[in-house]
Structure 1
């Protein structure tokens, strides 16, 4: 097995993206995976995982707060953001994501980090917790606790958002991003307070959704997903935005039944991606869950 190769992407900023390349086992033998990530702060390691169609910059509103107490690694999942899609020998399913994220931690020499994830990232965080690959889990509106009707609704909304992002000309996206009302048109499905998102961030995440090479296969793999396992012996926090319009908040109650020892936290005034709606609250929930 070849050694991982890590190198910073060309940038003058210490916050600029880095990439790491490493092998992941597959039925066809080891396959190479490359992931982009940002790493800041000091302390115990904390891995941040975004949702489907998003990118690591979803965590920008909270990353400075977290970095005061944690060595924070925000990663672009395979096929999203600046990370290329998986090779033909790998599929975008939960077992492959577990293997890839476990190999990422080995490549970065991180032993059992804390992990926080949102939506798809929350589901992946719980999976890592189930496999005992992390020391604590904070899942923000995680996927996998839906009913069949709720899943079909969420997937339909996500597909509509992606088609809109693909078809909308960039000048239109830029024009809409300049006003709070326009940012609401583009992002109110995931944010309860879309006006708080900067124009530059809205443009960037619209492009990230349009260009997400792993979107279709990841969504397809999710049709059979239901999280049904307890996670004993590990601190688990499940937090849900009270104004989540994508994965409705009653799914948090289901999560509590599945993981009875989990701390269930309600996030007032927050939507599906709560980091932007209330950064201080979300950062506090993550830090409390990882102490």
Structure 2
């Protein structure tokens, strides 16, 4: 069951109350997990138990996704607002500069938090923002098509498709390289999450002008990319390394855009190593 937390965020029209849903498990240094656009915090379920052996893990539904309401009137789903909301979340939950890991949109938000020195370390899995204009148009077109498909399918059809490996591939092969590994229940839940994401359109619109162009000095940064990412192609990882030259660039063999499901053990190791001062040799995979 998710908990909820509410806090105030400044808007041009005065303070507004933001409410976010989250789950928290484990012990150790805090690790905040941020999902991608159209997804929900359960995207991290395959790795949460592994992470919780060493970290106090907080998985959050971003505003307008999962069980979190959309932002109230007066706040927009742009990077500045999301940064302010996540900073307020950390303050309210008494997370003193947590480690942060994010996927896709969540990876971009994690890097933004790192740039603002609000976290101890950043691990970004296929982060948004390192695209060329053509790559962004391709990714946004694919995301919009996925959203339209999810909204157009009646629930009985989604449930029927989810019962077979082939059906789960139909529903989720855009984000997973190994969709058969996802449980039928999880596939149904994330299809419904995509269809019902109240913040999807505004978040996508805000991303049309986004590019991450700043270094993130002074803290450990890991950027990891699946070799079978179909949404944000892996050459964007090379751009990320040029922009953040001290970042550790990690290859995730056989993984798609949401790699937590494709190889939970590898992703958990990358996240844990990314929050340590000296990554283990096992995490130092060549980029090839």
Give the TM-score taking structure 1 as reference length. Answer: 0.95
Aligned to 1:5: none
Q: Which residue of 2 aligns with 1:288?
A: 273
Q: Deviations over 1:150-199 (max 9, x none)?
A: 00000000000000000000000000000000000000000000000000
Equivalences for 1:193-212 in 2 at 5 Å? 193-212=178-197
Is the counterpart of residue 30 in structure 1 residue 30 in structure 2?
no
Cα deviation, residue 29, structure 1: 1.2
1:139 aligns with 2:128: no
Q: Structure 2: where are the runs of 5+ without partners? A: 277-288
> Take 1:163 and 1:231, find their aligned partners in 2: how far apart are those partners?
36
The residue number in structure 1 matching 2:166 is: 181
Match of 2:91 in 1: 106
Q: CA deviation at 1:27?
A: 1.3
Q: Give distance in 2, aligned partners of 1:88 and 1:162.
A: 24
- CA distance in 2 between counterparts of 1:114 and 1:267 reads 20
Query: Residue 73 of structure 1: SS of its match in structure 2?
Result: strand
CA distance in 2, matches of 1:47, 1:24: 19
TM-superposed deviation, 1:26 = 1.3
Partner SS for 1:71: strand
Q: TM-score when scaled to structure 2?
A: 0.96
Q: Distance in 1 between matches of 2:206 and 2:248?
A: 28
RMSD: 0.3
Of the three residues 103, 110, 119, the one matched with 1:125 is: 110
Q: State yes or no: 1:152 paired with 2:137.
A: yes
Structure 1 distance, partners of 2:272, 2:146, is 31
1:146, 1:232 → 2: CA distance? 21
Partner of 2:283: none
Q: C-alpha distance in 1, partners of 2:19/2:5?
A: 6
Aligned residues: 276
Of 211, 217, 224, which aligns to 1:232?
Answer: 217
Is 2:275 the partner of 1:274?
Answer: no
Q: SS where residue 19 of structure 2 aligns?
A: strand
Query: Structure 1 CA distance, aligned partners of 2:196 and 2:210?
Result: 24
The equivalent of 2:45 in structure 1 is 60
Report the Cα distance in structure 1 between the residues aligned to 2:213 and 2:25, rounded to whole angstroms.
34
Q: Tell me what 1:6 maps to.
A: none
Q: Tell me, what secondary structure is at the counterpart of 2:134?
A: helix
Q: Which portions of structure 1, spanning 4 or more consecutive aligned residues, are displaced by more than 2 angstroms? A: none
Q: Deviations over 1:82-104 (max 9, x none)?
A: 00000111000000000000000
> What is the distance in 1 between the residues matched to 2:149 and 2:216?
38
Cα deviation code 1:225-272 (max 9, x no counterpart): 000000011100000000000000000000000000000000001000
Q: Which residue of 1 aligns with 2:229?
A: 244
Does the alignment pair 1:258 with 2:258? no
